[in-house]
């Protein structure tokens, strides 16, 4: 199903964003940038949950 592919792509993209922001946070260069990215990641994953809840498995 197409929505599942989009949801998976969003999860992968948000995971990559999170991994990419970790070195920045560790270096202490941009705490605000890190929190902005974190909130973006959380928002994306919430959207994915709304679109495709894991407890609703019908393809």
More reliable by pLDDT, 59 or 37: 37
pTM for the whole thing?
Answer: 0.39
Q: What is the mean pLDDT of the chain?
A: 75
- What are the boundaries of each domain within the chain? 2-50
Mean pLDDT of 1-11: 80
Mean pLDDT of 33-39: 77
CA distances to 35, 44, 55 from 22, in Å: 10, 17, 30
Cβ burial of 28 (10 Å; 0-12, 13-18, 19+) is: exposed
Whether residue 7 contacts residue 45, with contact meaning beta carbons closer than 8 Å, is answered with no
């Amino acid at each position: 199903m197409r929505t599942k592919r989009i949801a998976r792509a969003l999860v992968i993209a948000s995971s990559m964003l999170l991994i990419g922001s970790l070195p920045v946070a560790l270096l202490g260069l941009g705490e605000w940038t890190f929190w902005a990215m974190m909130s973006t990641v959380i928002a994306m994953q919430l959207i994915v949950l709304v679109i495709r809840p894991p407890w609703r498995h019908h393809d």
